[in-house]
Chain A
Amino acid sequence: MPIRYDGAVARFEGACGVEEALPLSDWLLATPDVRLDLGACTELHTAVLQVLMAARRPVDVAPEDAFLKRWLPSPLWGEGGP
């Protein structure tokens, strides 16, 4: 599973494809006070990114992938920056 849900924590790992968008959306709607860990994410499908943007919750751990870290829209990072 590219996204592992562990209680209130979602860990993004490897290539997160379009099929992750709907489950992520459902999980975000059902879970209060989530923690989003994109550290190990290497590819993020646009649909998944869109879910994250619409969720309006900051990412707690930024991806190590240089492209994602550099270019994902800044509102995702909340106050702290990437």
Chain B
Amino acid sequence: MSELFDQFLIESRELLDGIGAGLLRLERNLEDKAAVNELFRAFHTLKGGTALFDWPAFTHLVHAAEDLLASVRSGEVAATADLIDRLFAVADQSSRWIDHIAEHGGLPADAGERARVLEERLRAVPGDAVPDVTLPDAFGWLRDLSREEREALRAAGPALTAIAYDPDPECFFNGDDPLALCRRIPRLVLLRVEAAEPLPDLAALDPYRCLLRIRAISAAPAGDVAPAFRTAPDQVRIAPVPADLVGPAPAPPPAAPAPGAATMAEAILGEQRRILALDAAPGELEGRLASVERTAVNVLTALGRSGEVAAVQAAAASARAVGRPGPLANHLATLLAAVAAEATEAKLSEPAEPRTARRALRVEPERVDRLLSLVGELAVAKNRLPPLVRQAEGDRALARTLREVTDTIDGLSDELQNAVLRLRMLPLATVLQPLPRMVRDLAQRLGKRIELQVGGERTEADKDVLDVLGEPLIHLVRNAVDHGIEAPERRAAAGKPEAGTIRIDARQDKDSVVIEIADDGGGIDAAAVRRKAVENGVIDADRAAALSDAEALPLILLPGVSTARAVTDLSGRGVGMDAVRTAVELAGGRVEIASELGQGTRVRLVLPLTMVITPVMVVEAAEGLFGIPTSAVAEVAKVPAADIQRVKHAESVVLRGQLIPVFRLRRLLALPDGEGDGKTATVLVLRLDREPVGLLVDGIRDRLDAVLKPLSGVLATLRGYSGTAELSDGRLLPVINLRELL
């Protein structure tokens, strides 16, 4: 629709995130006044946003939550776990609506009904200080009153009587005329005649069956209203209107628009004025005037300035009369000035929240990616300089200058690259944020008590890394809740505090981001892991028996090994840790696991800070060039060719007293056998898992920072490669996926 609409979506999502966090804080400490205040403000602002568009169900629901929080703030209602649950339900519903609005531009058809149900839940406060807030079902409609209707009620006085009259469908045959009965209601403030069910088309309508129902409000006491319905006492319900429905006297909703509302209203009115200033084709003016008029009226109503609606309508009428937008445009200018003044005032009177921060720049990810690919091309172009320097070695002065220029460009290109990569960095908070809520809900379902501590949310990592991280993290935390932390009685029996603790810590470690998920639960039984691994043929029994506990634990990361005793609906069946490992390794990271039976488990995810630029070593094999990710290379060893020993088909070399198995890259790639220069062999010592592995190559050509492009098309099925990089001379360098190859 408009930028304003997009802004609303972004801001409401942020507000809802804040609401989720605030509710969790309040739950930890039910006396947390600051949390109540923040929640109140967040709901209030959200309400202001919804009121600018025409979504009464949304506005009412959020308003009800705000009201409830107001009662908590004033001490009338106590914050309880149950109350927090109900507010969570409102926040969840709001999130779903925001998603729906983002996709369809409006609320779903059942919004009114859902809002009503949730509002009833919100109001049904057990042991509430104000007992009359509960209302029989027949009066749910009282909550759907329009703003004008509410105002009329407020003007009519404090003691109101609600009437729900559902005439018998056969009543016409008894001589009843429901509408005529309503004329006898004393001090009528509101009367709605509506269809009890959608009316059929006229042709299908039985005119002698009454399908209408009547909802009314009177300013007279119930005792005075009842006699009007003497002839139909069984079809009518009469009850006093709860005071809070009309709107609490100190802060009636329209009179207190959200702080941001005036600013938003200013923007909307300005936009309307711009629309009026556009050239209108003949015949278009009418529609445009009507739309501007409608919008302006909505804005005024939302701002609680209903009194000025008539003036807008008059201005629109005179614009229509003269056939030019002038009168309405002029009136809008006046309004705009008044609203702008209010917006400034609102800004000034706003509490000194940390709102003074400069406005964040929101950039489309595609633009950053474009910038990044340019930087990648620059890095490739830069890679062509060192050969030039070598060529120029005949001319020492030229060579020196060239080298200086090369160094400068190298430095600048590195800085540029870092700067662009930083643009893609996001705080880990974005992936850690859903966890507290998830832990809370799961723990509740499982009857466990769990405290979640999260640290290092401000650690940053590349957006792509975060995307990879989300799922495994959720999985690991679920595991900790589900299988890690024991039930309170078991913990008590083991002499532990009843509430378990899960601690998530994120930090940056050189070029990696490290996330640790630790729980003080039952730990993993290494013996069970060993047994399961043997059962599933992952490892043979002898080797399993030889493993220490610490060495056996990582087996749980392999497919088909899971020690969950009970299958719950939370973590599925034995796919968990394997999926975590696969996802993390695909992103170039690794998973470490440590656990002590009875004491707890610690899982550590180590991921590269950025995924986009991969340093690779260019190696040669059978006159072809291949890339090996530098991160996997622990050491480059030049050894006499004779030192490579052959035992049957397996080859190995002894380096500093350690026996290392050696694989020949030529054989792995099915290239013709042959030696390098025949005397010395170049062995890359790779550290993939625990054991070092040697990779014999013909030679090392270069190192470069490669922008890795995934293989596409038919090549995508080649599992031995993780992608290609472009060499300085434009050739493509296949980069080897060592894990697949070895």
List chain A positions with a Cβ less than 8 A from chain B.
18, 21-22, 24-25, 28-29, 43-47, 49-51, 53-56, 67, 70-73
Q: Is A29's CB under 8 angstroms from B207's CB?
A: no
Q: Is A73's CB under 8 angstroms from B192's CB?
A: yes
Instruction: Report B-chain residues with C-beta under 8 Å of the C-beta of A71.
Output: 182, 188, 191, 193
Q: Is A51's CB under 8 angstroms from B172's CB?
A: no
Q: Is A50's CB under 8 angstroms from B180's CB?
A: no
Q: Give the CA-CA distance A70 to B188 in the complex, in Å.
A: 11
Instruction: Report A-chain residues with C-beta under 8 Å of the C-beta of B191.
Output: 70-71
Q: Give the CA-CA distance A30 to B612 in the complex, in Å.
A: 73
Given the contacts A18-B172, A29-B202, A50-B212, A45 and B207 also touching, CB distance less than 8 Å: no
Q: Is A54's CB under 8 angstroms from B212's CB?
A: no
Nearest Cβ in chain B — how far from A65, in angstroms? 10
Q: Is B210's CB under 8 angstroms from A46's CB?
A: yes
Q: Give the CA-CA distance A45 to B175 in the complex, in Å.
A: 11
Instruction: Report A-chain residues with C-beta under 8 Å of the C-beta of B203.
Output: 29
Nearest Cβ in chain B — how far from A69, in angstroms? 12
Nearest Cβ in chain B — how far from A75, in angstroms? 10
Instruction: Report B-chain residues with C-beta under 8 Å of the C-beta of A46.
Output: 167, 172, 177-180, 193, 210, 212
Q: Does B570 sit at the interface, judged by CB under 8 A? A: no
Q: Which residue of B lies closest to A22 (CB)?
A: B207
Q: Is B195's CB under 8 angstroms from A47's CB?
A: no
Nearest Cβ in chain A — how far from B463, in angstroms? 50
Q: Is A25's CB under 8 angstroms from B207's CB?
A: yes
9 contacts between A and B (CB under 8 A): A22-B208, A45-B179, A46-B180, A46-B210, A50-B199, A54-B205, A55-B202, A67-B183, A71-B182
Q: Does B194 sit at the interface, judged by CB under 8 A? A: yes
Q: Is A51's CB under 8 angstroms from B202's CB?
A: yes
Q: Is B172's CB under 8 angstroms from A53's CB?
A: no
Nearest Cβ in chain B — how far from A34, in angstroms? 11
Nearest Cβ in chain B — how far from A46, in angstroms? 4
Q: Give the CA-CA distance A71 to B203 in the complex, in Å.
A: 26
Q: Give the CA-CA distance A53 to B199 in the complex, in Å.
A: 8
Q: Is B202's CB under 8 angstroms from A25's CB?
A: yes
Q: Which residue of A lies closest to B207 (CB)?
A: A21
Q: Does B201 sit at the interface, judged by CB under 8 A? A: yes
Q: Does B250 sit at the interface, judged by CB under 8 A? A: no
Nearest Cβ in chain A — how far from B739, in angstroms? 68
Q: Is A54's CB under 8 angstroms from B183's CB?
A: no
Q: Which residue of A lies closest to B204 (CB)?
A: A54
Instruction: Report B-chain residues with C-beta under 8 Å of the C-beta of A47.
Output: 172, 177, 207-208, 210
Chain B stretch 160-209: residues in CB contact (< 8 A) with chain A: 167, 172, 177-180, 182-183, 188, 191-195, 199-203, 205, 207-208
Instruction: Report B-chain residues with C-beta under 8 Å of the C-beta of A55.
Output: 202
Q: Is B208's CB under 8 angstroms from A21's CB?
A: yes
A49-B212, A51-B207, A55-B202 known, 16 other contacts, Cβ within 8 Å: A18-B172, A21-B208, A45-B180, A46-B167, A46-B177, A46-B179, A46-B180, A46-B193, A47-B207, A47-B210, A49-B179, A50-B199, A51-B202, A53-B199, A70-B191, A71-B191
Q: Does B211 sit at the interface, judged by CB under 8 A? A: yes
Instruction: Report A-chain residues with C-beta under 8 Å of the C-beta of B211.
Output: 50
Q: Give the CA-CA distance A28 to B203 in the complex, in Å.
A: 9
Q: Which residue of B lies closest to A67 (CB)?
A: B183
Q: Is A54's CB under 8 angstroms from B177's CB?
A: no
Given the contacts A21-B208, A25-B205, A73 and B193 also touching, CB distance less than 8 Å: yes
Q: Give the CA-CA distance A24 to B207 in the complex, in Å.
A: 10
Residue from B192, B201, B207 in contact with A50 in the complex, judged by beta carbons closer than 8 Å: B207
Q: Is B202's CB under 8 angstroms from A28's CB?
A: yes
Instruction: Report B-chain residues with C-beta under 8 Å of the C-beta of A72.
Output: 193
Instruction: Report B-chain residues with C-beta under 8 Å of the C-beta of A18.
Output: 172, 177, 208
Nearest Cβ in chain A — how far from B200, in angstroms? 7
Q: Give the CA-CA distance A50 to B179 in the complex, in Å.
A: 11
Q: Give the CA-CA distance A56 to B201 in the complex, in Å.
A: 8
Q: Is B179's CB under 8 angstroms from A54's CB?
A: no
Chain B stretch 630-687: residues in CB contact (< 8 A) with chain A: none
Residue from B180, B182, B188, B201 in contact with A54 in the complex, judged by beta carbons closer than 8 Å: B201
Report, as a range, how many residues of chain B touch the other chain.
20 to 34
List the 5 closest A-B pairs by CB distance, nearest first.
Answer: A21-B207, A71-B191, A46-B179, A54-B205, A54-B199
Instruction: Report B-chain residues with C-beta under 8 Å of the C-beta of A50.
Output: 199, 205, 207, 210-212
Instruction: Report A-chain residues with C-beta under 8 Å of the C-beta of B207.
Output: 21-22, 24-25, 47, 50-51
Q: Which residue of B lies closest to A44 (CB)?
A: B179
Nearest Cβ in chain A — how far from B155, in angstroms? 15
Chain B stretch 61-79: residues in CB contact (< 8 A) with chain A: none
Instruction: Report A-chain residues with C-beta under 8 Å of the C-beta of B194.
Output: 73
Q: Which residue of A lies closest to B191 (CB)?
A: A71
Q: Which residue of A lies closest to B210 (CB)?
A: A46
Residue from A49, A51, A67, A73 in contact with B205 in the complex, judged by beta carbons closer than 8 Å: A51
Q: Give the CA-CA distance A72 to B179 in the complex, in Å.
A: 9
Q: Which residue of B lies closest to A20 (CB)?
A: B207
Q: Give the CA-CA distance A50 to B209 in the complex, in Å.
A: 9
Q: Give the CA-CA distance A44 to B182 in the complex, in Å.
A: 12
Q: Is A54's CB under 8 angstroms from B200's CB?
A: yes
Q: Give the CA-CA distance A47 to B684 in the complex, in Å.
A: 93
Q: Give the CA-CA distance A70 to B179 in the complex, in Å.
A: 13
Nearest Cβ in chain A — how far from B186, in angstroms? 13
Q: Is A53's CB under 8 angstroms from B195's CB?
A: yes
Q: Give the CA-CA distance A47 to B175 in the complex, in Å.
A: 11
Nearest Cβ in chain B — how far from A9, in angstroms? 18
Q: Which residue of A lies closest to B192 (CB)?
A: A73
Instruction: Report A-chain residues with C-beta under 8 Å of the C-beta of B167.
Output: 46
Q: Which residue of A lies closest to B190 (CB)?
A: A71
Nearest Cβ in chain A — how far from B210, in angstroms? 6
Q: Give the CA-CA distance A57 to B208 in the complex, in Å.
A: 20
Q: Give the CA-CA distance A6 to B569 in the complex, in Å.
A: 72
Q: Which residue of B lies closest to A70 (CB)?
A: B191
Q: Give the CA-CA distance A18 to B179 in the complex, in Å.
A: 12
Instruction: Report A-chain residues with C-beta under 8 Å of the C-beta of B210.
Output: 46-47, 50
Instruction: Report A-chain residues with C-beta under 8 Å of the C-beta of B212.
Output: 46, 49-50, 53
Q: Which residue of B lies closest to A81 (CB)?
A: B313
Nearest Cβ in chain A — how far from B561, in angstroms? 66
Q: Give the CA-CA distance A50 to B198 in the complex, in Å.
A: 12
Q: Give the CA-CA distance A46 to B168 in the complex, in Å.
A: 12
Q: Give the CA-CA distance A19 to B183 in the complex, in Å.
A: 20
Q: Which residue of A lies closest to B216 (CB)?
A: A71
Q: Give the CA-CA distance A34 to B180 in the complex, in Å.
A: 26
Nearest Cβ in chain A — how far from B190, in angstroms? 9
Q: Is B172's CB under 8 angstroms from A54's CB?
A: no
Given the contacts A28-B202, A55-B202, A49 and B193 also touching, CB distance less than 8 Å: yes
Nearest Cβ in chain A — how far from B151, in angstroms? 16
Q: Which residue of B lies closest to A72 (CB)?
A: B193
Instruction: Report B-chain residues with C-beta under 8 Å of the C-beta of A22.
Output: 207-208
Q: Give the CA-CA distance A49 to B207 in the complex, in Å.
A: 10
Q: Which residue of A lies closest to B180 (CB)?
A: A43
Instruction: Report A-chain residues with C-beta under 8 Å of the C-beta of B180.
Output: 43, 45-46
Instruction: Report B-chain residues with C-beta under 8 Å of the C-beta of A43.
Output: 180
Q: Give the CA-CA distance A70 to B193 in the complex, in Å.
A: 12
Chain B stretch 208-224: residues in CB contact (< 8 A) with chain A: 208, 210-212
Instruction: Report A-chain residues with C-beta under 8 Å of the C-beta of B195.
Output: 53
Q: Give the CA-CA distance A8 to B183 in the complex, in Å.
A: 31
